Copies of this chain bind each other. A is one copy, B any other.
Amino acid sequence: MSVAAKTVSDVIHSHLGVLTRAERQLAESLLDNYPVSGLGSITTIAENAGVSTPTVVRMVQKLGYKGYPDFQQHLHQEVEATISNPIAKHDRWAQNAPGTHILNRFADAIMGNLRQTLTDLDTATFDNVAALLSDRKRTLYFVGGRITGALAEYFFTHMQVIRPNTALLSSNSSSWPQYVLNMNPGDLLIIFDIRRYEQEMASLATAARKRGAEIIVFTDQWGSPAAKLARHAFRVQIEAPSAWDSSVVTLFIVEALIEAVQNSTWDETKERMKTLEGLFEQTRLFRKPG
């Protein structure tokens, strides 16, 4: 049953080492555009891979299948599994029935946003930002607007556990000047500014820059004015079938950054988290003696 449990892709990968040249060539052809490339007849896939049909037979038998039909049947099952998930299923509904349930329309939009955002996003930018956030000498200031304030808070709450020197600016701008006053060169100001850009964000960014702070902006595809002042900007797709913009993808990037930072300084973070657990425990005991 070892074959049945794993995906065909897994099986191919685990056998890559024992494949011959022509077989590897075939394997790569199959994995490229997997699993659709394996849908046709043995003749077709042999031609696509530029090998002979006996090579195909030999390889699938080497992989543990009884023959090509057996191999293909496994592939069909995988295609079915892939295609029968709710999201893929939705894509098919969507073509035929535009008015499906809102959950599906949302899922569709979010997938598109995520894909587009990841396509546009340079991993180097991500890595650079993660490195900046990991630098404990830099104090982190988080700020968001009316809607995005919750994202800033979410990011802040995690970073506060992971590292020292973090601050959350209220979304009310009246308290900002005092924070700016304390900023030192190299500090980071992380701004969330999604459309209906708040003019004050750009002012804040300018003030922070004057104090020598670096600026990181999370904005939408059109770009906050604050993004022009930023060292790094994340342009996130935010469109949803809704009167509101979607923050799901922004949160996605925030979570990925949290993990990247945590990972790069795991030893220190681990200690901090342990200490924090202890403090929580104490608070609890303090509140409820007995």
Give the B-binding residues of A (Cβ under 8 A). 7, 9-10, 13, 31, 33-36, 39-40, 76, 79-80, 82-88, 90-92, 95-96, 101-104, 106-107, 110-112, 114-115, 118-119, 121, 123, 126, 146-147, 149-151, 153-154, 157-158, 240-244, 246-248, 251-253, 255-256, 258-260, 262-263, 273
Are the C-beta atoms of A251 and B247 separated by less than 8 Å? yes
Q: Find the B residue at minimum CB distance from A77.
A: B36
Task: State in angstroms the CA–CA spacing of A157 and B31 once bound together.
Answer: 46
Residues of B within 8 A of A83 (CB): 35-36, 79, 82-83, 88
Are the C-beta atoms of A96 and B31 separated by less than 8 Å? yes
Residues of B within 8 A of A112 (CB): 86
**Subset of 25 A-B contacts with CB under 8 Å:** A10-B95, A13-B96, A33-B80, A33-B84, A34-B96, A35-B83, A39-B80, A40-B76, A82-B83, A85-B91, A86-B118, A86-B119, A87-B88, A87-B111, A88-B88, A102-B256, A102-B259, A103-B123, A106-B256, A106-B259, A147-B154, A149-B157, A150-B157, A242-B255, A243-B262
How many identical subunits does the complex contain? 2
Known contacts being A88-B82, A242-B258, A252-B110, is A247 close to B154, with CB within 8 Å? yes
Task: State in angstroms the CA–CA spacing of A83 and B82 once bound together.
Answer: 7
Are the C-beta atoms of A106 and B252 separated by less than 8 Å? yes
Q: Assuming A88-B88, A102-B260, A147-B154, what are 7 further A-B pairs, CB within 8 angstroms?
A: A35-B92, A36-B83, A39-B80, A82-B92, A106-B255, A110-B252, A248-B248
Residues of B within 8 A of A246 (CB): 255
> Separation in Å of the A196 CB from the closest CB of chain B?
9
Task: State in angstroms the CA–CA spacing of A149 and B88 once bound together.
Answer: 32
Partner of A114, one of B110, B123, B150, B153: B110
Task: State in angstroms the CA–CA spacing of A181 and B105 once bound together.
Answer: 39
Residues of B within 8 A of A36 (CB): 76, 79-80, 83-84
